[in-house]
Amino acid sequence: MDQFRVFRAIGLAFKAWFANFIPITLLAVVLYSPMIIWLTQMPSFKLETLGDADQFSKAINHGVWLQQALATLIAPFTVYRVIQYMNGEKTSIVTSVKYGVRGILPAAILGGAVTLINMIPMGGIIGAILLCYWFVAAPAAVVEKLNPVAALSRSATLTSGRRWPIFGLCFLVGLIEVLIMVALLIPAITSKNLESIKSIMITIFVVGGVSQLFMGIVAAVSYSLLRGDKDGVTNEELAKVFE
């Protein structure tokens, strides 16, 4: 039986997150601290003039780039912690960050490429394809000590034959993210109380940040499951790589 299945990957990711909730969430808060500072220092927008609307649009674009850049660090920095958890071991989050450094470049390439491609017409389709190919590039770089190009190639190999399920996984998490955002924003929109556009932006970026944190954990879990399917490697064997 295949180890990598959509709901199994999501379920294991939830378990890994909640079992390590405090260290992983604190790590995310530290990583997102520039975003948090940026949001708290942002001026309020009322969109009463064209100038306000233009500033709001620029703020959204800057926020998206900043959040995407910071989110690329989550997956590599949590790989070691998640794999050790799946092996029944507890480890230091500091050690996880130390090992995760080598996964930063592949994660940055994936995040940057997908973000840029999504900005062009119909780019979302190409971006989704790249994401499915390179979904576990960062974990592969961390565990297998690969350079960025080799990590991307390794991810393409591991995800071969599993890309539709990976697409379904990403779509499902993205759909839940959108539904949560809509549920949180409906009260402000229906009441037409749009004076505090800043609070709406904070809601959007906070929900997006939590979603990206979860997807980083999912990537680590998925890598472990895909290694089991493709190479017959157990969690215990993966954990021993770091010794």
Asked whether 218 and 173 are in contact (CB, 8 A), the reply is: yes
Amino acid at 114: V
- How much is the pLDDT for 27? 92
- Which segment of 1-5, 10-14, 32-36 scores lowest on mean pLDDT? 1-5
Average pLDDT over residues 129-138: 93
- Spatial separation of the C-alpha atoms in residues 211 and 209, rounded to whole Å: 5
Is the model's pLDDT at 193 over the cut of 60? no
Q: Each residue of 141-163: pLDDT tens digit?
A: 999 999 999 999 999 999 999 99
Helix, strand, coil percent values for the chain (each to nearest 5): 80, 0, 20
Asked whether 87 and 104 are in contact (CB, 8 A), the reply is: no
- Which segment of 27-36, 44-53, 190-199, 208-217 scores lowest on mean pLDDT? 44-53
Asked whether 10 and 173 are in contact (CB, 8 A), the reply is: yes
Short-list 80, 173, 63, CA closest to 115: 63
Residue 90's pLDDT band (cuts 50, 70, 90): confident
Average pLDDT over residues 167-191: 84
Is the model's pLDDT at 9 over the cut of 60? yes
Average pLDDT over residues 120-136: 87
What own/partner pairs with CB < 8 Å and gap ≥ 24 does 17-25 have? 17/213, 17/214, 17/217, 19/85, 20/81, 20/82, 20/85, 20/93, 23/81, 23/93, 24/78, 24/81, 24/93, 24/213, 24/217, 25/213
189: left (phi over 0), alpha (psi -120 to 50) or beta: alpha
Q: What sign does the dihedral 178-125-114-135 (CA atoms) show?
A: positive
Tokens representing residue 57 in the block = 């649009």
Q: Each residue of 29-84: pLDDT tens digit?
A: 998 888 888 877 776 656 555 455 666 667 777 777 777 788 888 889 999 999 99
- How much is the pLDDT for 52? 58
- Spatial separation of the C-alpha atoms in residues 180 and 208, rounded to whole Å: 10
